[in-house]
Every structure is written in structure tokens, then in C-alpha cells.
Amino acid sequence: MFRLPIDAEGFPLGKGPMVMLVLFVISTFFIFGRSEEEGESLEFWIFANTHYEEYQARVPIFEAQNPGVNVQLINFGNTMHDKLLAAMLSNFGAPDLVEVEITSIGRFLKGAIDEVGFVDLRPRLESEGWMEKLVLSRFTPWSYRGQIFGIPHDLHPVVLLYRDDLFKAAGVEMTEVETWDDFIVAGKKATRDLDGDGEIDQHAIVLDRRTESDYFSLLLQQGGGFFDEEGNVIIDSELAIKTLEFFTALFNEHKIATPVYGTWHGDPSNFAAMQDGKILSILSPDWYVGILKSQVPQMSGKWKAIPMPAWHPGGRRTTTRGGTMIGMTKQCTNPDRAWELLKFTYFDRAGLVNRYETTRIIPPLKSAWDAPIFKEPDTYLGGQPLGDLFIQLAPDMPPRYQNPYWSEGADLLNDAIFAAVTEKQTPREALTELAEKVRALMAKDLGRWGEL
Amino acid sequence: MRTNRTTYRFWNQQQKIAPYLFIAPFYILFVVFMGYPLVSSLVMSLYEMRGFQSRIFVGIGNFIDLFGDPIFWKSLRNTAYFAAGTLTLQLPIALLLAILLNSKFVRGKNVLRLAFFAPVLVAGVFVAIIFNLVYDQRAGLVNNELLIFGKEIGWLNEENYVMPAVILTGVWQWAGFNMIYFLAGLQGIRQELYEAASVDGANWWQTFLHITLPSLRPVIAFVFVVSMIGSLQLFDLPYILTNGGEPADAGSTIVMYLYKNGFQFMRLGYAATIGWVLFFIIAVISIVQLRLLGIFRDE
């Protein structure tokens, strides 16, 4: 009779290790021996839950239109950017398509331009005539040295959301506010110490002094920025300094602004302060309205919106904050099919209407703007057609030039804003010091690498 | 006969090889996931890296840059602050809790033990989110409900209060965990020693000082070293609690600065340098601690 040269009893250390070994061999077989799915496969990485849910609902339509194509949507949440970076560093494992957030894209642009891990989409966009169909200024965050590495998911125009009831109670009609000077006058009337304890309980506006978000929005509104189109540091320009002086004055001189409750505008503490009537207005991009609706639905009907106050009569009444792009990685094995999926998710009118329905995000595709949904009254804003307001502002979006040094710059800008608002430095000192640091960093790299 | 000989040879061979096969998975995994990255990061620390492919040899240039970097020093100060807070606040509290739970006068020990230990079961991310609410300036439990400080303190918004807030959160999360080590140590002390001390007329403090503490020395050394290493590697709690170390890097730690350089600024060589400096700091402090606590001394 045939006998195996080993038996369970005689196996070193007994039956346990043998069982483990058998399980190891079987599982290895299953892991490495699985057959590849038939047909083409496209991998698409996402970091935002709302985007993931939207694509999950729409991808089956694409798959039905493209028999044999299998789309794998993977939502990595906040860790996605780090995973993408690792995949690009190791030149292995990156997806075909990926969404990248606006504050993260800079790090992917470091190094020589041909080392960037994304495909330049300009040739495809130009040959198919997509450039003029989209808001041109929204390509700037995703472009560098003439190449376009991503297509904008959104515009993210900003409006001023305000508590109509509380401003009216203070005798202020906010629809008459046109400039920031008007806002200061209105804000002083509405900012109040309600219980007479000497402390202000109700501030006209909430602003983030810990990070660049609100200050940078105000700077972009005037056409400023951290870097110009050529990549020069302009954060110490007179415009940037005047804007920070204005920003700090809202806290310290006019005393109409409160620092954000918690660590950012989406903090539960901030929402609690809103519900308590401590915050009367907030600079809100379109996506933030979606967050408010989901986080504080009980405030439905209490908010109204006006365009942002301008810096001078007739000036720009909006800015932009946040953003996402879709990019095709250089590891993509089927660029043509990936391009089709990209167009389906970003340029399909029905999909973009669906996106607005679920997230309140205004698409950059101009031909989608006449969809009836954008004109519909928004119950959360007491029946005001918010989509219509955003779309009126959309053509005036300021550019936001991208730069590989944005991450370092933004980190230092956060410190500079905090130092200025807490009066540890004057706005001029804080921004001059910041600009010198970033220029020194860039000069050092230029010296070492011969190019930026 | 032939079959028997073959079987004998097989057994003879496999007896020699089997032990190596059994320990092989650990060593293979160690070399792939620890050894190679360690060597690779040491090499990386000698290079300036940019983009996904470019690198230039800079020797100790990254180390020189690091020692002149004010944010690194600030992060180091914050980390040291946390470590000092851990040693002076968290560990004495853990020891005190252990002594209380070891006392025969305390009732419901099992429930209390579980209650003190439970926070460590909560993931750091959730702890940070919960304490974000606890420290809220207006509506938070500390300022509003407990009114401990009699005034509104911007725990997460004012530079001076950020690290104390992180330390207190660390106490809440880890004191119960360290308490278990101390408790195990206390239960291992021979009862006769206490009886002898009692016969000699020693009071509680003398007993604690001359019996409990010396007997706990190996446990204290272990907890001190492990807590110190954990403190120096602090990352997730302040990263989430302070939204990346803000305001003004008041919550930045060495590992957070390493992460920012490696993953946000794409300065991998510099990040590797921070990693190696951290390694040397941990190694030196651990050796000094163990020496001071007499772990290397022969009894």
C-alpha cells in the first residue's frame, strides 16, 4: 500500500503545525491561483464617500454601454493620497483613474515634469474640444508647466450664507450688502453681547484663523494667490498683506468675527454654535451647503445666501475653495477606455445633474448649467434657488495657480495667519517672513537640482 | 529495504532542515518588511530626493539641515513635553490606581479594572474625535460642564494649551493600560515581606518605599521604557486632535513632522533623516533609562 513519507503523528511538533502548513498551502493556492476576470478591467480610486456613492450608482450604466468592461471602484477615504504616492513611487499598483484633492496635488508635481505620474490630458481635451466647454480658470489648479494633469470635478464657488432672521432682528437687510465695507457696518450692528456679561455671544461671521482656508479664499477673490502663473512666490505682495490686515481687523479691530469653533468649519462644535445662534454668517462653497444639510438638517429654512461682498463696488462677488480632479495615471494600461470612463463620469449631463442633487456641487461643464434642477427652490435656504445663484457666479471663478511647493507653503501660511490674528506678528512681518522661507527653500532646490 | 533507507534519509534530512523552515517565515518577513526598509531608509537619508525618480547624494546634508530646522526643534520640544507629561503624570496615576485596586479595602475590583482598562480598547482616532468635543472652547465638557478652570480655555486653539490637552488625553487613554502592568507586579510581591515589615513596625509609607517600589523595579523599568518609546512615537492623537499640528505647530510631534515631510512635502530623504534621528534619540534614552533603573546591574 502506498504511504506518504510523513504522517501526522511523526510530524515535528505534532499535528498543530501540520494543520497550519496545510492551511498555508491551501490559502496560498487560493490567493495566487485565482483566475483573472475576463474582459477589460479599469481601476478607479476615490477618496470622498459622496463621490464614491455617486459613481457606484452610475458605473453599471457605463458597464452596460461597454460590454466586457469591468470597473473597479475603490474608496480609500483619507488615506488614498498616501497610497497613490506609494504606488507612483514604486511604479507599481497605481489605478487607471484617480481623483485627487486640491491641497494634495502639489506633492505629485515635485521633480522633473516628465516624472509626474499623471498623463498630460491637454492633447485629448483640445482635440475633442472640451477646453472651451468647461470653465477655463478651473484647469489652473491641475495644470503645471503647460501640461494638464487633471480635469476639474467642480467649481466650488463661494457665497455668503447668513442667518436672515438674526440679521433682520438686528435691523440689517443683508441683501443690501455689496462690499466688505458694507459688511463691516452690518456686522457691527449684528454682533452682540446678548446676556450683558461683557462677552460677545453673537458674532457676525465665523472665520478660520488656524488654517489658510478663509484668508486664502479672500485673497483669491481679488486675483491674488500664493504663487503666480510662472511659479513665483507672491504671498508677500501688497495685495496679500492688505488682505491679511483686513482679515485680522475683522477679529481684533472690528470684533465682528469669531474663530471657528473646534478645529475647522465642519467641526461638530461649529455646527452647535450655529444652532445656538452664535454664528450669523459663513463663507460657504457649494460643497459646504451639502455638509450643512446632512449635519444640521434642523437648521433648514434658517439660512439664506448672497454673493460674497466685493472688495470694491462692481468687483468680483465670489471666490473658490476646495476642489477635486480626475487624473489618468501613467500606469494606466488602457488609456482610451479610461478616457471614455472619465468622460462618462465628468462630462455626462445626467450624471452631473445627479451630482448636484446629492452633493450640491456645481459642475464645471457649462452646457449642464441650464438643467432645470439648478433653478429649483432650495428648501434648506427657505426656498431660495441656490443653484441659480452659484451658476450666476460660476463664470467669474478666479484662477488658483498650482505649484509643487504648495504643501510646504500652505503649512507655513497657516502659521503666519495664526501669528497675525493673535497679534504675535504684524500681517506684513508674518507674510514677509513666510515668503522668504519659501523662496529660500526653492532657491536651495534650484541650487541642488538646477531647476525647480 | 530500499524504501526503508529512503525513508530514513528523508527523516534525517528533514530533521536538520525543519527547524530552519519553521523559523524561516519570521526571518523572511523581518528581512522583507524590516531589514530592507531599514537599510533603504538609511541610504535614503543620505540623499535629497525629489519627484518619483530623481535623487542626489548629499551625505550628511540632510542631518545638517535638520539640526537647523526650527520646526523640527519645536516638534522635538512638543514630543519631549508629552513624554515628560507621560512620565510625571500618567505613570504615577497608573501606579496609584494599581495600588488602590490591589488594596483589600476597595470593592468591585473587577468592574473598576475593566473600567480603567477600557479606554485603551478605543482606537486612537476615535479618542481624538471624542476629545475634540470634550475640549471644545464653548460647549466642551471641560470648559462648560466641569467648570474646572473657571474660564473658557481654548484647549485646541491656543498654543500653550494644546500639548497639555494632548497629555491629558494620553492619561485618559493609557493610564489604565499601564495600571495592569503595575497591578501584575504588585500581585507578584511576596506577602511575607509585608508581614515581616509589619512585625518590624514599618508604617505604610516605609513599606511602600522599601518593599513595594524596589520589588516593582523591573515592572517600573519596563513600563517607563515602553511608555517613553510610545511617547516619542506619538502621532495619531495630536494629528487628529489638532488637525495636523495646528495652530502654529503647537501640536506637531517628531513623527508628525516626519509624516509631513515624507508624504505631504515629498521630501523622502529628509523624512528618512528624521526617522533615523528619532531612532537614535529612542535608543539613547532607553539605554539611559535602563541603566538608571539598574536593569543592567547584576543582583
By C-alpha distance, the chain A residue nearest B17 is A12
Tell me the pLDDT of chain A averaged across its residues.
92
* The CATH number of the domain covering residues in A158-321+400-449: 3.40.190.10
High-pLDDT (> 70) share of chain A, %: 95
More confident position, B136 or A46: A46
* The CATH number of the domain covering residues in A40-156+322-379: 3.40.190.10
Q: How far is B155 from chain A (nearest CA, A)?
A: 10
Residue A63, pLDDT > 70, answer yes
Residue A70: CA atoms inside 13 Å, Cβ hemisphere, count? Answer: 7
Strand ranges for A227-359 from DSSP E: 257-259, 281-285, 303-307, 324-328
C-alpha dihedral sign at A346, A352, A355, A356: positive
pLDDT means over runs of 10, chain B (299 residues): 68 83 92 94 94 89 95 96 93 94 87 92 90 82 70 82 94 94 94 92 92 92 92 93 88 96 93 96 91 71
Three-state SS for A151? strand
Of A193-197, A275-279, A307-311, B176-180, least confident by mean pLDDT is: A193-197
Which residues, 6 or more positions from A156, have their beta carbon under 8 angstroms from its beta carbon?
A: A285, A286, A287, A320, A321, A322, A323, A361, A362
Residues A111, B54: C-beta atoms closer than 8 Å? yes
Local confidence band at A269 (pLDDT 50, 70, 90 cut-offs): confident
Q: Which of chain B's residues have a Cβ under 8 Å away from the Cβ of A411?
A: 260, 264-265
Residues B137, A117: C-beta atoms closer than 8 Å? no
Report the complex ipTM. Answer: 0.82
Closest CA to A381 of A94, A80, A75, A164: A164
CA A369 to CA A356: how far, in whole Å? 11
**What domains are there in chain B, each with its CATH number?**
2-63 (no CATH), 65-292 (1.10.3720.10)
Measure CB to CB from residue A111 to each of B51, B133, B264 and give the nearest one.
B51
Q: Which of chain A's residues have a Cβ under 8 Å away from the Cβ of B141?
A: none
What region does A207 belong to: left with phi over 0, alpha with psi -120 to 50, or beta? Answer: beta
pLDDT of residue A370: 94
Q: Which of chain A's residues have a Cβ under 8 Å away from the Cβ of B57?
A: none
pLDDT of residue B243: 85
pLDDT of residue B299: 53
pLDDT of residue B124: 87
Residues A407, B264: C-beta atoms closer than 8 Å? yes
Three-state SS for A159? strand
From-to residues of CATH 3.40.190.10 in chain A: 40-156+322-379, 158-321+400-449
Cβ pairs A/B, distance under 8 A: 107
Q: What is the mean pLDDT of residues A19-26?
A: 84
Measure CB to CB from residue A82 to each of B263, B265, B268 and give the nearest one.
B263
pLDDT of residue A238: 98
Of A253-257, A336-340, B241-245, least confident by mean pLDDT is: B241-245
Residues B243, A268: C-beta atoms closer than 8 Å? no
pLDDT digits (tens, 9 = 90+) for A186-218: 999 999 998 888 889 899 999 999 999 999 999
pLDDT of residue B147: 64
Closest CA to A224 of A398, A50, A360: A398
**A292 alpha-carbon distance from chain centroid:** 16
Residues B51, A116: C-beta atoms closer than 8 Å? yes
pLDDT of residue A11: 62
Question: Chain B contact for A112, CB < 8 A?
Answer: yes
Task: Measure the CA dihedral A354/A358/A361/A362, to 10°.
Answer: 30
pLDDT digits (tens, 9 = 90+) for A91-123: 999 999 999 999 999 999 998 899 999 999 999
Q: How far is B235 from chain A (nearest CA, A)?
A: 15
Residue A81: CA atoms inside 13 Å, Cβ hemisphere, count? Answer: 21
Residue A36, pLDDT > 60, answer no
- Looking up cell 533507507 gives B5
Local confidence band at A37 (pLDDT 50, 70, 90 cut-offs): low
Residue B182: CA atoms inside 13 Å, Cβ hemisphere, count? Answer: 30
More confident position, B212 or A449: B212
